[in-house]
Structure 1
Amino acid sequence: MYPIMKKVLFRMDPEVAHEWTIRSLQLLQRVPFLAKSLQQKWEIQHPSLSSQVAGLSFSNPVGLAAGFDKHANVYPALAHLGFGFVEVGTLTPRPQSGNERPRLFRLPEDQAVINRMGFNNHGVEDAVHSFQTLPRPTIPIGINLGKNKDTSNEQASKDYTTGLQALYSYGDYFVINISSPNTQGLRDLQEAKALEKLLTHILQTRDHCIQSHQVKKPIFLKIAPDLTEEQLIEIMEIVLHTKMDGIIATNTTLSRDGLLNQVSTHETGGLSGRPLTSRSTRWIAEIYRFTQGKLPIIGVGGIFTAEDAYAKIRAGASLVQIYTGMIYQGPTVVKQVNQGLVQLLERDGFSSVRDAIGVDVSI
């Protein structure tokens, strides 16, 4: 059905189409038997796909990236679409409307999207209400944390720790998002001195949360694809020194190299989708090589097929995430990728996805 739906959705403004999709998912959440039937149809259960990453259990390695469920209000419905995990947000302490519309643009010729949303979300308190009232899925739920637009970088750690403390009971893992290009100055937090200070403060707060809740929740750092190799190495040294639990590679890019669509290329914002496929895979391999495979990596950027996901796993990713691929191919892409991964693992003689992680990288 999705090719028909896609024609309708692609005639809409991209953000209006997204809002329509969210309302449809909210409706799905009110019809449990329909949600369950979708899960039975689209979920792939196979022993080769299951794994343990950062102390969490995943039935399959294909997750939904942050940015889709911005307000943490449709993750139960999304969990029925066959994902191995779902990441919500980006959430900020206070609600904010984000940047002015239009702020979301499709590039069909490139199978890409440009967005400059600006962390539009209903804030942490609204997310807490959602987590307290909506049913809890059986798959891991990640929470992507950001800072409010009007919070200075000097005060940024307060925003991240506020979100961490308020939502600690509800997330299975947390993501520190300092790599979105759509909040002015945010990527400056990737600079070494600022980053070490920020992560130290966040991890100290996590220590207090561990004492209060008697459970350790892993924290990942999401990085940009536009770093230089020197900047990447500097960041990895800090991540290892501070003992972060993992990396998400990568966020959207500011690059417009090689795009076929010349109409939307002048639009500012982060580019996602097919043009990011090889760039993010290359960064995953660099991170895996530098950390000698000791740090879990979630690979994201331009995954449309099982082969795309498999390349990221072989480059060092323990898990992968999809977003733009679902816009262009529909929710069945999750099932297709998982089915394809089972076949690719069997073809190469791997009994588990764990066995394929980083096999293309020499350490």
Structure 2
Amino acid sequence: MIYNSLVKTLLFQLDAERAHDLTYQFAQKVSDSSFLQAVARAIYNYQSPKLSQNIWGLTFKNPIGLAAGFDKNGKIPRAMEATGFGFVEVGSITGDPSIGNPRPRMFRLPKDRAVINRMGLNNDGAKTVVKRLKNKKISIPLGINIAKTHDSSVMGDRAIQDYIHSFHEAKKIADYITINISCPNTEEGKTFEDPKALNELLSGLNIRGDARMLPTLVKISSDLSKAELMKLLQVCEEHRVHGYVACNTSSKRDNLMTNSSVLDKIGTGGLSGPPIAEKSIQIIQWISKATNGQKPIIGVGGIDSFSTALKMMLAGADLLQVYTGLIYEGPSLIKDINRQLVKELKELNVDTIHQLVTAAEL
């Protein structure tokens, strides 16, 4: 209530990235203060044994995670845990540090409760972020999202070596790693969504050949056709990836109420929020069916309510991530979704999220 009546009003007076920076700075203060963490837990943190899941040998206290992009540099995991997240995904991190694209590069679409960003993978670089995270002790799973350095000269074998560097750095501290092959916010656009290039990348990372491999996921674009997705899944399954994150932001401008002249002025960037929820749900369904429900899926892209969260889980998502929804709903979104999940479990007289999905389908 406080967020929507006061904080959101103040933040929306600012440029979108400036508002994010202020929010991030406050979250850093929370991360550094046991008192502020206790306050955050008292206000926002809601847990129930019914929400707990064991996936990849990791315990997720609840299924709601922080999507990559919010904490690019690994400075606020403690604050996110205190706020009630079941897991956090840091990044994207890249082999080399990057300042990203010129500002302005983040834009709100209030009529659509959406955001367009072309941040350009700004981050402190894999080595620095990993070193920082070694001191961030948290009791929830930590994912690291890795991408190719934002540099058009880093192509071909150099691009694969760039990923390998970040991958080996991330393995030092991550509980799972997400390979981001679908970020549209770089000069050259999509990176490794060509099946041949993806095969070369996964071969370089040696996911299939290393029995001690950390859980490794691939993040899929929301703009893929079913045929394109199936080709990528075939490559991923041949390399025995451990799961999927669906979906990344969209380069398209479908289903928007925002005036076209405003969109033209904003220009390129990845669209996130409710306008891409339907795409994300469809792609989750396709992945789940193609893998016979045997590979865990993290659903992301447009979750701003319990209703959308439930649709993603019924489509096949085992875990969920939010980011843009936090901008419009505030941190209470996590608590609201988790509470309503528990309520749904009780109404269906089942004890686990897996049983919820089964019961809801009957």
Shorter-chain TM band:
over 0.9
Which residue in the other structure is 1:35 paired with? 37
Question: How many angstroms apart in 1 are the aligned matches of 2:184 and 2:131?
Answer: 29
What CA distance in whole angstroms lies between the structure 2 residues aligned with 1:359 and 1:259? Answer: 34
Say if 2:114 is the partner of 1:117.
Answer: no
Is the CA contact 2:208–2:241 (under 8 Å) kept in the aligned structure 1? no
CA RMSD of aligned residues (A): 1.8
Query: After superposition, where does 1:77-226 map in structure 2 within 5 Å?
Result: 77-133=79-135, 135-150=136-151, 151-204=154-207, 207=210, 210=212, 216-226=213-223
1:137-176 Cα offsets, whole Å, 9 max, x none, are 1000100001112211442221111011122121111000
Report if the CA contact (8 A) 2:207-2:241 is conserved. Answer: no
Distance 2:124 2:358 in 1: 38
Change (3 A) 1:35 1:184: same
Matching residue of 1:333: 333
Change (3 A) 1:293 1:334: same
Q: Deviation at 1:221?
A: 0.1
Q: Helix, strand or coil: the match of 1:22?
A: helix
Q: Check 1:38–1:243 CA distance in 2 against 1; reply closer, same or farther (3 A cut).
A: same
**Is contact 1:107-1:264 (8 Å) kept?**
no
Aligned residues of 1:313 and 1:358 also touching (Cα < 8 A): no
Quote the offset at 1:54 in angstroms: 1.9
The one-letter amino acid paired with 1:199 is: L
Kindly tell me: are residues 122 and 51 of structure 1, through their superposed partners in 2, closer, same or farther at Cα, counting changes over 3 Å? Answer: same
- The aligned amino acid for 1:265 is L
Q: Name structure 1 gaps, 5 residues minimum.
A: 211-215
Q: Percent identity?
A: 39
The correspondence of residues 171-320 of structure 1 with structure 2, limited to 5 A, is: 171-204=174-207, 207=210, 210=212, 216-262=213-259, 263-266=261-264, 267-320=267-320
Cα separation, partners in 2 of 1:188 and 1:161, compared to 1, 3 Å: closer
Report the secondary structure of 1:187's partner residue: coil
CA–CA distance in structure 2, aligned partners of residues 315 and 359 of structure 1: 13
CA distance in 2, matches of 1:119, 1:69: 12
**Contact 1:289/1:361 (<8 A) preserved:** no
Q: Normalised by the size of structure 2, how large is the TM-score?
A: 0.94
Is contact 2:94-2:125 (8 Å) kept? Answer: yes
One-letter code aligned to 2:215:
P
Per-residue CA shift, 1:240-285, capped at 9, x if unaligned?
1110000000000112112111143222110000101111011101
2:73 to 71, 74, 79: 71
Aligned residues between the structures:
355
1:14-33 residue pairs with structure 2 within 5 A?
Answer: 14-33=16-35
Q: Deviations over 1:1-32 (max 9, x none)?
A: 21201111001011111111111111112221
The runs of 4+ residues in structure 1 deviating greater than 3 Å are 356-362
Map 1:352-363 onto structure 2 (within 5 A).
352-357=352-357
Deviation at 1:286, TM superposition (A): 0.8
Secondary structure, counterpart of 1:252 in structure 2:
coil
**Residue 188 of structure 1: CA displacement?**
4.4
Q: Deviation digits for residues 182-203 of structure 1, max 9, x if unmatched? A: 1133524111111111112113
Q: Which amino acid aligns with 2:121?
A: F
Over 3 Å counting, the alpha-carbon distance change for 1:19 and 1:186 in structure 2 is same
In the TM superposition, what whole-angstrom CA distance separates every residue of 1:104-134 from its partner, at most 9, and x where no partner exists?
000000000000001000111221231133x
Letter in 1 for 2:238: H
Q: What's the CA shift for 1:49? A: 0.7
Alpha-carbon distance between aligned partners in 2 of 1:359 and 1:179, rounded to the nearest angstrom: 34
Secondary structure of residue in 2 paired with 1:189:
coil
Distance of aligned partners of 1:361 and 1:279 in 2 relative to their CA distance in 1, 3 Å threshold: farther
